[in-house]
Structure 1
Amino acid sequence: MALSGQTAVVTGAARGIGRAVTELLLQHGATVTVTLHNAGHVVEVALLDVDESAGLSLKASLDQQHGAQRTLFLLCSVESEEQTKAAFQKTVETFGRVDILCNNAGVLNEAAWERSVSVNLVAVIRLTYMALEHMNKGTGGRGGVIVNIASMAGLGPLPSCPVYTATKHAVVGFTRAMAAASTALGYGIRFNAVCPTFVQTDLFSNIYDRMGMFSQLAAQTRKFATTGVLNVSEVAAGLLELVTDETKNGEALMLTGGGKKYMTFPTLS
């Protein structure tokens, strides 16, 4: 799949993995809608102001490198039905289409577990279904690809973060089921998940403060981290492979310090 002329929507794009993904897609010829997810505990004006500043700063930087017409910044919480729907509409109005969705926005906070479920899982489902309205070949769309940022915690348990583990397992399962449904129903959309180990982002740097009742397991989590911490560009490269390789559908790509591996799962008969 060549990216030239393709339009992508990236959530949580102002920093970390989202920013790396945005920059890499632009380098390969795509146009990108940058939707920014507020990463605070609640949606507050101060946090939104800070996030808006980060998003506009990224937009200004990308404008200098690629031109103002290649990106569109929208202040958008992935927890808001109204804001996410408006973001897709604005993308289509501006660029004419949606070809790629990267569900990247995520949080880790075992004490605020309901919000973790809302951001990490419910929002992924919400945005996927909204993207279907614009991408589904069965209803006039052009098809495309949706890549969800999951985690190694979506493949095996992270004991200090059971809710985070549950949400990422669910993202992997949702991705694989949607891939099968798309094939069966002719959506023309591929679905894949990236499952990195620890990545050098704000989420990782604050993980030991967000374990809630499981903080006693911090030392065990540090042992997991000794297997290698990825940089954001490595995760972006994995996503790019899943976007551009049209043979990849229903895949969970595990990324560790030792390299990459496509996971195999038991089949249901």
Structure 2
Amino acid sequence: MIDYKGKVVLITGGARGFGAEFARGFAGRGATVVIGDINTELGEATVAEISRGGSACHFLSLDVRSDIDWAAAVDYCVSEVGGLDVVINNAGVEISELYIDTTPQACRDLFDINLVGTMLGIKHAFLAMQPGGASGRGGAILNLASVAGLSSTPGLAAYSASKAGVISLTKLAATEAGTFDYGVRANCLCPSLFNTDMGRKLLNDFPGLGLGESVEAVKEGLIARIPVGRFGELSDVVNAALYLCSEEASFINGVALPVDGGMSGAG
């Protein structure tokens, strides 16, 4: 059992989906969890649920596109909670559209959250975690990419580009942190399709794009591409995150880890 007692973990987009599961997972291992999200009502409900189990969990409003919000979130973690050891850049959005239907503004909005938001998260994690920073005890950054950033799926051009960018940002963050002795590792996860709001939306969108006769047909086609023969469970992603952010993974850095049942390796 990996123990996170005494650690402070900041999770963006933590009100639901992967983010909420990360919050439950890290809190269950003893971490003090801070959920940052723009959905105050749902975020506070998730915090209340986790806190009822006896875990330490807090909510703050955080728009990952805002440099000011990021600075305030990190200040809250350090001054009110006691430090900052792990930052999980989980917040993200997805759009499903063919190239011929792509609109510039939709792409810019997606890149602002998925890419700029992740860059700002890395920036503020470095500032706080490096020697002499507000927390100053090193730590781990975990970015949420996607198997879409490793392979090609029609209808996901902007999303795939953003997640490929997150993989690149992760590798650069690992290299830069080492160059300047920040004491910070950076890795990312590349999940395939999971039973989240975003995953369900994707399944429902594909038939309308001409990428399957029905939602069930899309499901069957995707499962056929996964060597283990099933979709992932949320616990599969949480367990990978718990490992990568722990001391047990102290020599794993700059990695884009597929959590996809072998989908990306099968082509």
TM-score (norm 2): 0.84
Counterpart in the other structure of 2:233: 231
Compared CA separation, residues 260 and 246, structure 1 to 2 (3 A) = farther
How big is the shift at 1:98?
0.6
Counterpart in the other structure of 1:121: 115
Counterpart in the other structure of 1:42: none
Q: For structure 2, list consecutive stretches of 5 or more residues without a partner in the other structure.
A: 97-101
How big is the shift at 1:258?
4.9
**1:18 and 1:194 mapped to 2: Cα distance?**
13
Q: Does 1:216 align with 2:218?
A: no
Counterpart in the other structure of 1:61: 49
**1:59 and 1:116 mapped to 2: Cα distance?**
26
Instruction: Please tell me the residue identity of whatever aligns with 2:163.
Output: K
Q: Equivalent pairs: percent with the same residue?
A: 29
Is the 8 Å Cα contact of residues 148 and 171 (structure 1) preserved in structure 2? yes
Instruction: Please tell me the residue identity of whatever aligns with 2:11.
Output: V
How big is the shift at 1:4?
1.5
Counterpart in the other structure of 1:84: 70
* CA RMSD of superposed structures (Å): 2.4
Instruction: Please tell me the residue identity of whatever aligns with 1:250.
Output: G
Return 188-197 or 248-257, whichever deviates more: 248-257
Q: Say which SS state the counterpart of residue 217 (structure 1) adopts.
A: coil
**2:125 and 2:244 mapped to 1: Cα distance?**
18
How big is the shift at 1:11?
0.6
Is the 8 Å Cα contact of residues 171 and 255 (structure 2) preserved in structure 1? yes
Is the 8 Å Cα contact of residues 253 and 260 (structure 1) preserved in structure 2? no
Q: Say which SS state the counterpart of residue 137 (structure 1) adopts.
A: coil
Counterpart in the other structure of 2:40: 52
Matches within 5 A, 1:123-202: 123-137=117-131, 139=133, 141-202=136-197
Counterpart in the other structure of 1:107: 93
**1:113 and 1:32 mapped to 2: Cα distance?**
31
Q: For structure 1, list consecutive stretches of 5 or more residues without a partner in the other structure.
A: 38-50, 262-269
Is the 8 Å Cα contact of residues 208 and 215 (structure 1) preserved in structure 2? no
Query: Can you list the C-alpha shifts for 1:87-119, whole angstroms capped at 9, x where unaligned?
Result: 111111112211100000110014522111111
How big is the shift at 1:259?
9.2
Is the 8 Å Cα contact of residues 158 and 221 (structure 1) preserved in structure 2? no
Compared CA separation, residues 208 and 64, structure 1 to 2 (3 A) = closer
